[in-house]
Amino acid sequence: MTLGVFIQVRLGSTRLPAKALLPLSGGTIIQHVMRSMSLVPADVHALVTEAGSAEALAPFAREEGFAVFVGPEDDVLARYCMASRKYGVDTVIRATGDNPLTSAGLARSILAEHRRCGADVSHYIGVPLGSGVEVIRSESLHAAEREGVDPADREHVTPFLYRHRERFRIEEPKAPPGFELPEARVTVDTEQDYLLVKRIFEELYRGAPIEALEIVSWFRAAAARAGGQG
């Protein structure tokens, strides 16, 4: 089995422009995603982006030992399929460039589950939003690319697979013990998200990727403090 760790990223967000390059303790958002995902053994680690973002992202990718793959701006499904063919991988881990607290431990764990089950796509349910990844068979992505005609099938990577569960094996195990906290949000989509994640990094970052158990503990402690004040 050949594995590609592909981080989906572009800098054209209108809600929070160039959010992948926003600073956190120890580096930018995209650097922290790469540093975490570099802890997942794979045949290739790459940023999967589009032409308008590639030049700005390339120095960060080189610094972290990632390749840069450039594909269509709006057809993200095709971008992933093209990358899977270029690098000759039969399995893809899809992470996203606005999730600096993506968990390498959860990624390795769901990858093992995916392989054990022979699934087409796998992800955990109930982990903090922004800490998990998807694991996808390349052949299944290619089927979605051939047959997906709805714009939503092209703008994202896996909707076609989830809509056709009669054809594709979807594994959605519950979060491992201790990791379940679905109400926690650590993806960066808005300024408010960024300020929260920035605070988490200021309090928890010690020079290495922050793991999901630390995130869960941080949120539970924050909730306990808030309850005590009430």
Per-residue pLDDT of the chain (230 residues; tens, 9 = 90+): 899 999 999 998 788 999 999 999 999 999 999 999 999 999 999 999 999 999 999 999 999 999 999 999 989 999 999 999 999 999 999 999 999 999 999 999 999 999 999 999 999 999 999 999 999 999 999 999 999 888 888 888 999 999 999 999 999 999 999 999 999 999 999 999 999 999 999 999 999 999 999 999 999 999 998 876 65
Using CA atoms, how far apart are residues 164 and 168, in angstroms rounded to an integer?
Answer: 6
Q: Give the pairing type, strands 170-171 and 3-8.
A: unpaired
- Domain boundaries in the chain? 3-229
Entry pTM: 0.95
Using CA atoms, how far apart are residues 19 and 86, in angstroms rounded to an integer?
Answer: 27
Q: Which of 49, 37, 47, 95 minimizes the C-alpha distance to 76? A: 49
Q: For domain 3-229, which architecture applies?
A: Alpha-Beta Complex (3.90)
Using CA atoms, how far apart are residues 143 and 161, in angstroms rounded to an integer?
Answer: 9
